[in-house]
Structure 1
């Protein structure tokens, strides 16, 4: 039976790759692969996953699921002008924002306070029921985080992939919030809908597909067995993560390790629970609420999950005043692959947002 389970492990990896631009199939820290290239790794000593927040807390979602939240104050201890909320994508967690949470608190123009949280069923947050594993619920979760952690003052929302979809869901649910308090929105490697039409094959998103349906059934009946099969072939999966997630084949092995670790921590059950909601996501009309904000649309032109054309271009067409940035050669997790570019563009977005609020004229 071993070859069958090896095939299952590999197939579950491909399923995750199709959805997230990486391989969900193996929870693997591929130390021996990284060791082969460590001499060329610019981030060999980067403290991925070890940045300490100023405060850590738990916010209860409206259905009781605990959401793990971290807060980072301006590096110089001054008063922040803006609260910036970072919303990660599917099968990842808040660690994907490593470079931005490291660098954005050092801004002085404007000074910002960061709020970073793990979405339900991801990272350190609590597990969701299948019924509430929806983008609609993610929008409500984001609202709960804002009500608890950003009760007053201007806000900037930054979302990657499914995190961007959660921001769109919140805009659909509470458009007045975007008019009154949200000054800036960044939509990174995300889509307003029709995810399966380009890049991500629609059949993978349907529960009618026998592979995800079979994995869902197995994860219900034999969760330990399914997760054990994901441990097979760590070298293969590390390479899948590198090749399917990133555009740059010389990407830092430590960054690939981080990506593989986040994906490996996402169970097959969580993967299958979110399939249908990704398939049904369609929020072009919700984008109208963002027209009162400064908006950045940023995506890599080597993104296999939400390709720049059409997804970023559709967002920009719906938001004609948005700044559209094409990250040359970058894949889906562009904030890890080209962190300098992403942080630079986010900094410019935040400066524009504060300038818009005060009536100042700022360069970008």
Structure 2
């Protein structure tokens, strides 16, 4: 059974943000599913709910798990949701987790400041799209620059999604995680606030900080992030081989 990859996007963007990763994985013959969460991408007409987000992730993971071990990969909000999902008490069928740009507990002053910034941008003409476009032009290479917004921008879902994240019990979820984990942050990522806490709660996890990268590490340094996926895939594949060998020995 071959490893399956499930990708979960961040807030306001969609499955389109993973174009470089999807192309890389498909070129290697790796099966990959990139979901659109409620209120995002192909589901812009829907209302975001935390329950709907977890249902989307769970459906994709369980469908993939029928074909092979699952590597779950999430970015930003998608990373936080993936951490909570992977650390659930009922232990979903996830073989490994890559959580990018999400080592911050979404509560308190930090969350209020993020919501205020988002509200300020949404109040500008064109919802501040000119500013967003300028930031993307200044930080992302041409090959990935269009990917973040290619599936549309989830303006209406942004505030409700941010508020919903405050209900996550990430510390409990992190303590329960026993599968291989990689936390991946850009050097200049604003969500590195609780990096040490995350790695303390998951002592077997690896923390990888990508130099000269921002919050959008998957698109700013796609080759580096793809190399991390390669490391995770190799780990899952080795674990699957060991499990099969162990079963054979027992027989």
Shorter-chain TM-score category?
A: 0.7 to 0.9
Find 1:238's aligned residue among 122, 133, 147. Answer: 133
Q: Which residue of 1 aligns with 2:32?
A: 114
Distance 1:261 1:152 in 2: 29
| Residue 203 in structure 1 maps to residue 112 in structure 2 | yes
CA distance in 1, matches of 2:128, 2:161: 24
> Could you tell me how far apart the structure 2 residues matched to 1:118 and 1:187 are?
17
The answer as to 2:173 corresponding to 1:290 is no
Tell me the equivalent position of 1:175.
Answer: 90
Inter-CA distance 195–103: structure 2 relative to 1 (3 Å threshold): farther
Aligned to 2:144, the other structure's residue is in SS state: helix
Larger Rg: 1
Give the direction of change, closer, same or farther, for the CA distance of 1:343–1:232 in structure 2 (3 Å limit).
closer
Q: Give the 5 Å matches for 1:280-319.
A: 280-291=167-178, 293-304=179-190, 306-307=191-192, 310-319=193-202
Does 1:273 find its partner at 2:160? yes
Q: CA deviation at 1:284?
A: 1.3
C-alpha contact 2:39 2:45 (8 A) present in aligned 1: yes
Distance, in Å, in 1 between the alignment partners of 2:117 and 2:182 is 38
Instruction: Determine helix, strand or coil for the equivalent of 2:204.
Output: coil
Cα 1:299–1:257 change in 2 (3 A) is: same
Taking a change above 3 Å as real, the CA distance of residues 158 and 237 of structure 1, as seen in their structure-2 partners, is closer
**Cα pair 1:189 1:312 within 8 Å, conserved:** no
Q: Are the equivalent residues in 1 in contact too, given 2:171–2:201 (CA < 8 A)?
A: yes
Distance 2:49 2:32 in 1: 25
Q: For 2:147 and 2:34, how far apart are their aligned partners in 1?
A: 17
Q: Is the Cα–Cα contact under 8 Å of residues 11 and 76 in structure 2 kept in the other structure?
A: yes
CA contact 2:101–2:185 (8 Å) conserved in 1: yes
Is the CA contact (8 Å cut-off) linking 2:14 and 2:41 kept in structure 1?
Answer: yes
> How much has 1:149 moved relative to structure 2?
4.5
Aligned partner of 2:99 among 177, 180, 187: 187
In structure 1, distance between residues paired with 2:33 and 2:242: 26
1:329–1:196 distance in 2 versus 1, CA, 3 Å:
farther
Question: Which runs of 5 or more residues in structure 1 are unaligned?
Answer: 1-79, 216-225
Select the residue among 81, 84, 87 that pairs with 2:8. 87
Task: Give the TM-score, by structure 2 length.
Answer: 0.82
Distance 1:142 1:190, change over 3 A: same
Q: CA separation in 2, counterparts of 1:176 and 1:237? A: 38
Question: Please, what TM-score do these two structures have when normalized by structure 1?
Answer: 0.59
The residue matched to 1:143 in structure 2 has which SS?
helix
Match of 2:78 among 163, 179, 188: 163
* TM superposition shift of 1:288: 3.0
Check 1:195–1:353 CA distance in 2 against 1; reply closer, same or farther (3 A cut). farther
TM superposition shift of 1:333:
1.1
C-alpha offsets along residues 74-102 of structure 1, whole Å, 9 cap, x if unaligned?
xxxxxx61111011111111111111111
Q: Distance in 1 between matches of 2:237 and 2:117?
A: 50
Please list every run of 5 or more consecutive structure 2 residues that lacks an aligned counterpart in the other structure: 244-251
Do residues 343 (structure 1) and 226 (structure 2) align?
A: yes
Q: What's the C-alpha RMSD, in Å, of the aligned pairs?
A: 3.0
Residue 252 (structure 1) aligned with residue 159 (structure 2): no
Q: Secondary structure at the match of 2:97?
A: strand
